[in-house]
Chains A and B, each alone.
Chain A
Amino acid sequence: MINKKGTDKIISIYWFVILIIVAGGIFAMVSVFYGSPYDVRAIEAELLTNKIADCLSYGGGLDKELFIDADVLKGFKENFLELCKINFNVEEKFENEPQYYLKIGVFAIDSLNTPAVSLVEGNRNLVASCNVQEDKEFEKLAKCNKRKLYSTLNDQQYLIEILSIVKKTQENVK
Chain B
Amino acid sequence: MEIVNSFPNKRGTILVENVVFIILNLVFLGILILFIMKQGSGAVVLEQSYAKQIALLVDSAKPGMKISLNMKEAIELAEKNNVLDKMILVNGNIVTVKLSEKGGHSYSFFNDVEATAYRDQNNPDLYVFIIN
CA distance A11 to B64 in the complex (A): 67
Chain B residue total in the interface (Cβ 8 A): 36
Binding site for A on B (CB under 8 A): 8-9, 13-14, 16-17, 20-21, 24, 28, 32, 35-36, 39-40, 42, 45, 48-49, 52, 55-56, 59-60, 63, 92-94, 106-113
CA distance A100 to B112 in the complex (A): 14
Q: Distance in Å from the Cβ of B129 to the closest Cβ of chain A?
A: 16
Q: Are B39 and A87 neighbours in the complex by a CB distance under 8 Å?
A: no
A-B contact pairs, 6 of them (CB 8 A): A10-B17, A10-B20, A19-B28, A40-B55, A85-B63, A86-B110
B38 to chain A: closest residue by CB:
A30
The residue among A27, A47, A171 with the most chain B CB atoms within 10 A of its own CB is A47
Residues of chain A within 8 A (CB-CB) of B39 are: 30-31, 34
User: Does A14 sit at the interface, judged by CB under 8 A?
Assistant: no
Complex interface bits, A20-44 against B, C-beta within 8 A gives 1, otherwise 0 = 0001001100110010011010011
Q: Distance in Å from the Cβ of B8 to the closest Cβ of chain A?
A: 7
Residues of chain B within 8 A (CB-CB) of A26 are: 32, 35-36
Q: Are B49 and A38 neighbours in the complex by a CB distance under 8 Å?
A: yes
